[in-house]
């Protein structure tokens, strides 16, 4: 999926491992599209590539306004955002590992 996003010029692609954090997927990918049309194209191409690879349709949510589109590829969930929407929700901060705290001695 990361290659598909790179090929389609998605910006700031971040892959977040979810193994051990949740059972919903193994990985989450967060990427930015420069416009609603760009996000729509990214989602459509992902849907086509997922179907070709695993022989099933990916579930897609948010195709109406296209400020935030979610593509569920089974083991991988892809969030496609417009820049201001991505900054507002900050999913990476919610799911990335937090730094370990030093123990007081």
Residue 97 lies in a domain: no
The residue count of the chain comes to: 105
Close Cβ partners of 59 (under 8 Å, ≥ 6 residues apart): 71, 72
> pLDDT, tens digit, for every residue of 36-82?
999 999 999 999 998 888 877 888 888 778 899 999 988 899 999 99
Question: How many structural domains are present in the chain?
Answer: 1
Residue 105 lies in a domain: no
d(CA 74, CA 50): 9
Domain, as residue range, for 8: 2-87
> pLDDT, tens digit, for every residue of 9-42?
999 999 999 888 888 899 999 999 999 999 999 9
d(CA 80, CA 92): 12
Query: In angstroms, how far is the first alpha carbon of the chain from the final one?
Result: 45
Question: Which CATH number belongs to the domain containing residue 68 in this structure?
Answer: 3.30.460.10
pLDDT at 103: 37
């Amino acid at each position: 999926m990361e290659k598909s996003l790179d090929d389609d010029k998605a910006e700031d692609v971040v892959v977040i491992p979810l193994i051990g954090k949740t059972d919903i997927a193994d990985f989450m990918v967060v990427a930015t599209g420069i416009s609603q049309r760009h996000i729509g194209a990214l989602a459509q191409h992902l849907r086509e590539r997922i179907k070709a690879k695993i022989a099933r349709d990916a579930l897609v949510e948010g195709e109406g306004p296209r400020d935030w589109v979610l593509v569920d590829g089974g083991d991988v969930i892809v969030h496609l955002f417009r820049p201001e929407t991505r900054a507002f929700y900050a999913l990476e901060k919610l799911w990335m590992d937090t730094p370990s705290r030093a123990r007081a001695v």
